[in-house]
Amino acid sequence: MLAIKKVIISCDKCGKLMAKKICRIKPRNFCSVECRDAHNSVRMTIYNWTQNPENQPGQTIEQRAARRERAKRRSGGTAPTKHFGMSYHRAIMEAKLGRPLQPDEVVHHIDGNHENNKPNNLEVMDRREHARWHMKQYWAKKKGGGNG
């Protein structure tokens, strides 16, 4: 039987020593999923702030929205829908308002198209007002729609 050699290496995140098979050593080695995820979180945050073209400064909200729409068309609708972990429509509205959205505030798409994140298609409502608006639309459609 062939013995597989192990070597002692340290975790790239916390420095904890661990034994690892030589064939399993990678450019970055972690002792746990938590250390790996913490490392990747920092790495992706740095990437998003410095290199991600979606987040480059010096563009208007409309220019960013237009670039996202072009990316969606090119990718067949699979372009990312998040901006630094926040939905694009919420990020666009925060930029338009110049303040963070409150927890009870919802961004409503005026034309009903959730793909259309242009600033002039978005408005802020509180959750109750938004639910009320959609219920009115639902009942108006149901009454005018035929069976009942």
**Residue 61 included in any domain:** no
What residue numbers bound the domain in which 112 lies?
81-148
**Residue 42 included in any domain:** no
Which amino acid is residue 139, in one-letter code?
W
- 126 close to 105: Cβ distance less than 8 angstroms: yes
**Residue 54 included in any domain:** no
The predicted-structure confidence for 69-92, as pLDDT tens digits, reads as follows 777 777 666 555 666 667 888 888
**Total number of domains constituting the chain:** 1
What Å distances lie between residue 120 and 9, 83, 107, 125, 132, CA to CA? 55, 19, 12, 15, 22
The predicted-structure confidence for 31-48, as pLDDT tens digits, reads as follows 999 999 999 998 888 887
Read off the pTM.
Answer: 0.47
Mean pLDDT over 45-62 rounds to 74
Mean residue pLDDT of the chain comes to 83
**Residue 91 included in any domain:** yes
Nearest to 11 by CA among 114, 22, 26: 26
**Residue 126 included in any domain:** yes
**Residue 10 included in any domain:** no
**Residue 24 included in any domain:** no
Structure tokens at 145: 């729609």
Given a cut of 50, whether residue 68 has pLDDT beyond it is yes
- 121 close to 110: Cβ distance less than 8 angstroms: yes
Phi, psi for 118 (deg, rounded to 5): -70, 140
Could you tell me where the beta strands, DSSP code E, fall in 3-59?
6-10, 17-21
**Residue 139 included in any domain:** yes
Close Cβ partners of 139 (under 8 Å, ≥ 6 residues apart): none
Close Cβ partners of 79 (under 8 Å, ≥ 6 residues apart): 68, 71, 72
